[in-house]
Chain A
């Protein structure tokens, strides 16, 4: 034993323990996010519990099992349960019961002790709705235009509603949105003429006639919209809830009706994938706590792309300067320290800088110069996607520099000498020889920068991200790319839904799903970058030999 300690072996094992803990935590974290995130999409079993509570009253509870936990009996002493005295812990189930119009809480704790019977009836359904969350219960009847019809008609009626809903969305988003956008532009145009004292009667008449045409179009579209709305509202279903109450749900509120308990594994898998797709391509509902995250994905991607366009040239040029042009002097050392510090400055400081410098100073001046017709409501003098991209470009600059420089330093100097010896200028050598060879390294740097930017939230909270953006920064209205708009972001979505939403418990699975999406994107980006870098290293090794 003593010898064993002297050999140092226990300490080696302890240090191996450090590696194990790190590995357990990384992999455990990924596994946790993946399992929680994916289980959000898997259709869960619907249960019916027959209960008898402490006072002997009998009730029925219908819902999904959301969580289980074991609690010590001593905590439940006040409930006066008739328990086996040897029993120390009791199981407690958290049931998602939905049906917000009947009970105020979405969730309910049940003591397993009180449950007499647990069933999974085949005809239990979950109705996903546009408002008020899920409804759990049995279908009592389906009413078509005032007449009861067979339940088999349900899919057909649902697809009819879907059809109308698509048309409504189309109208609202593209046609009516475009008219509103044009009206706003005309208002600004008038204001601009006014400011320049050029608003003559003729100009005014022209604008007014345009406005009149648009308003007429608008009225027409609105009527069309009303038509669709009333067509949708024609039918309804009557549901029987857990306590036997009948509830009418109009088709205009219904998104989906599923008999979870009737599905076999194959159908469940199909549903699983269709839910994932819906999550990726749909807009959020109910204050972001349900529905998809499409605008957040779109905002993240657009902002990151903009940032890439800004950061890549600067980062590459700076790296080339540091590696190819800078001499070995104090200034270069200073420059390197600047790069390290840019990488080490807390991201929130960039946010503060971006807000003060880009948004208020640069943006404010731009507004004074070019968008005075819009004042006092700011155009660029308020947080927006352009400022976010710029701020993150500074933040990720060192990532691109470091990676590119590493790539440059791996290129054997013989290549440079060869090119120069053949009479090429330094610029030509760079452009024709060095950059093409270093391009995978540059690529790696850019990918790493993208990964970093996609996960960064703190500075964005100050310079442009919002919980709910009414319009995407890219749409069909001229000039198509609206750099002044605010945007949604996956990372901020996680923070906002997980911590600022009114019903955190109900939103948690969605947050896990969003987190899974973000982690997947970032891990994939990183792995790509690392594999490119590894391949590159091998290629350079070959070059040297």
Chain B
């Protein structure tokens, strides 16, 4: 008895264990779907986050009375920061405490190196008045008595005992002695420069009001990572005509092509290519909204083509050259309003741009910092980092940090060097940039463009989801245009008119199509159908007429057959009787193709389309995709629609027929009406499948992301785009996340279709069972 109870108990335990296990297994299905949804969302989410700026380090500075900071900076890994003062001294500070095993011990704020940049003989306690930055790390120091020096603070990593230490270093690309920039060696009130391996171009405004351009052309090559005492170069001095008497700011593009000279609220653009003559290329005079507004600052955007102009009412405008009917012109592309502070508008004191991306930071006169991204028009961040306008601000090389020298937040009487971390990984992506027209640099007008990669380094990714979503819809639409009529007619006939014996064979045969791998359909479409259609283009269009026509003719012929023939070939055999008729029609269409081409299209319809009608023709076009994907969708729609029609309760049709309606009338007025929700859900399912289909589109189109409804042109769909670009995208990059977004869009899209279809079907099933 005891044994029996024990076994009963263990059976009970087993029973409830099984129940739990099975319930868990059942719920895991839902869990999987939710997991996919959440994971996609998790990857996508960061692209819509705005920037975050947090203080990391604050180092108090002990500056002498007449000493002030002119420049600051940080290394790529943000382990060392430096500042340059007007005495010509550079100090490097540790931003991290040394690791235990390191050879040198140091803590945050310790100096790593402190030295004077003036090592040549000619500098005599000279005061630096200007530190000019370029797009590279090279800086130009200019003293009050007109001496200039090119320096490059740089860093290298040293590995000892498995620990890494960053060591600061200073290079003098053109040697330790003063450079001669002005032929007359006068001090320069404003100065800008840019350099590449072979050439350095300086543009400056002397104190005696001459605008000059000076080029150093290397005999061999300039190097920024070696000391250049023995570098040989040729100097070309040029004077530039300036229509105005003063100069406030000068910028030289890193490709050495253009100089922007701001004089008050006018910007003069000079072309620097010619070493004989500096030509005034354009004049930019922005229209400022408010009376009394004037320009206060200017900066160049990464990529050498855009200039940013800040004004006294807190606005920044972006300008670049656009091809117009009257040649290339500088145009205002977009505007940003920097200061939404309640205290009123504050002038833009300075604009700082990132080295590689199109982001920029504005510093208002009241110390307010705003962060923008130009192309996406995103306002990423706003806030105060220092209590007033700082003495120096620099963006870290990887754009993930800021160094600022300004009032010490802990001790207002002192200055401090502060390092901030910046989290701003995906500024180029906004909802707007993804779905609206964007005006990219070098384009004549705003447009929808998907172009994720390119060969060149300073390429800006163009991520508009519009062309690829459009392609998805276009492909699905053409496929449905082709599939729905065939699938529905076939479903109607199979469910309603076909004999059970034939239905048993026909239905699985058509459903077999669903099992055919789409890669095979795609391959046939791309390598067999596309060339075939190009060759026999008229035949394809003829078929759209020939097939229905031949069917009707066959029907009419059968109608007029003598009765004893009709008995031998009953109408229920129609699909079989039609097969030879259709094959004959197809054969006729193809053999007529050549004749038609000669008769109407001067020998070749494809060439006729391109040359005479001006219609672009891709071999792998929407027609090919429509037919190939149509075949993939037919079985889905057929199978579900057939089920819906077949399960219409028999007494409904019997009633209708008994009242004298013809079978066709019964079908239209009773059966289809009753089954219409089922047919609708079949079409929804088919659409869902067409939208997400990858391989057919990938293989049967040229995958060009264009916005064109033309049946003779290809498209790129969301799914194919993912398949093409995902393997090459860098993990965690904006591109990678946007591809996830594309997948997410597909997921949501099909989710809606499928859920709607399933709801309708469940309702229908209940309705039928109640009849």
Residues of A within 8 A of B (CB): 4, 7-27, 29, 32-33, 69-70, 72, 74-75, 88-89, 313-314, 317-318, 320-322, 324-326, 333-353, 355-357, 360, 394, 397, 401, 425-428, 430-431, 451-452, 454-458, 461-462, 491-492, 494-495, 498-499, 504, 508, 511, 515, 518-519, 522-523, 526, 530
Contacts and interface: CB of A to CB of B under 8 A. Distances in A.
Contact of A346 (B547, B597, B692, B755): B692
Contacts of B25: 313-314, 317-318, 320-321
A320 B746 CA distance: 30
A348 B746 contact: yes
Nearest to A425: B15
B638 interface: yes
A339 B722 contact: no
A24 B727 contact: no
B605 to A, nearest CB: 11
A22 B746 CA distance: 28
Contacts of B576: 20
Interface in B495-528: 497-498, 506, 508-510, 512-513, 515-520, 522-524, 526-528
B731 interface: yes
A504 B527 contact: yes
Contact of A338 (B30, B524, B552, B689): B30
A349 B743 CA distance: 5
A523 B509 CA distance: 10
Given A20-B575, A342-B32, A454-B517, A15 B691 contact: no
B272 interface: no
B517 A352 contact: no
Contacts of A352: 40, 722, 726, 739-740, 743
Contact of A70 (B510, B551, B594): B594
Contacts of B755: 337, 340-341
Nearest to B528: A32
A426 B19 contact: yes
Interface stretch (B233-241, B358-366, B659-667): B659-667
A495 B746 CA distance: 23
B598 A74 contact: yes
A9 B547 CA distance: 17
A10, A15, A70, A337: residue with the most chain B Cβ atoms closer than 10 Å? A15
A13 B555 contact: yes
A343 B663 CA distance: 36
Contact of B516 (A341, A346, A522): A522
A232 to B, nearest CB: 37
Contacts of B487: 18, 22
A302 B602 CA distance: 55
Nearest to B503: A19
B9 to A, nearest CB: 11
Contacts of A341: 33, 750-751, 754-755
Interface string B713-745: 000000100110011000100000001100100
A29 B516 contact: yes
Contact of B21 (A17, A22, A317, A356): A317
B24 to A, nearest CB: 8
12 contacts: A12-B555, A12-B664, A21-B486, A320-B25, A342-B33, A351-B726, A356-B740, A428-B11, A495-B523, A508-B527, A519-B517, A519-B520
A526 B515 contact: yes
Contact of A15 (B19, B493, B535, B750): B493
A324 B23 CA distance: 10
B684 to A, nearest CB: 10
A451 B512 CA distance: 11
Interface stretch (B76-84, B204-212, B693-701): B693-701
B523 A430 contact: no
A348 B33 contact: no
Given A339-B29, A341-B755, A455-B517, A346 B719 contact: yes
A356 B494 CA distance: 44
B320 interface: no
A355 to B, nearest CB: 7
B664 A519 contact: no
B598 to A, nearest CB: 6
B493 A518 contact: no
Contacts of B33: 338, 341-342
Contacts of A313: 25
Contact size class for B? 35 or more
Nearest to A401: B29
A449 B571 CA distance: 39
Contacts of B489: 14-15, 17-19
Contact of B493 (A16, A32, A74, A347): A16
B39 interface: yes
A22 B15 contact: no
B644 to A, nearest CB: 15
B709 to A, nearest CB: 23
Given A24-B582, A326-B26, A511-B527, 8 more contacts: A8-B665, A29-B631, A320-B22, A352-B722, A455-B515, A491-B520, A518-B517, A523-B515
Contacts of A89: 594
A13 B663 contact: no
A88 to B, nearest CB: 7
Contacts of A318: 25-26, 28-29
Nearest to A529: B515
B747 interface: yes
Contact of B548 (A8, A17, A454): A17
Contacts of B43: 356
Contacts of A70: 594
Given A337-B755, A346-B692, A426-B19, A15 B743 contact: no
A344 B26 CA distance: 18
Contact of A8 (B498, B506, B516, B662): B662
**Most central of B12, B512, B515, B554 by chain A CB within 10 Å:** B515
Among A17, A72, A338, A515, residue most surrounded by chain B Cβ atoms (within 10 Å) = A17
Nearest to A355: B726
Interface in B188-228: none
Contacts of B609: none
B331 to A, nearest CB: 39
Given A17-B582, A335-B30, A495-B695, A348 B722 contact: yes
A340 B758 contact: yes
Contact of B699 (A8, A19, A22, A498): A498
B490 A345 contact: no
Contacts of B347: none
B526 A10 contact: no
Contacts of A519: 516-517, 520
Contact of B726 (A17, A335, A462, A526): A462
A19 B631 contact: no
A20 B554 CA distance: 13
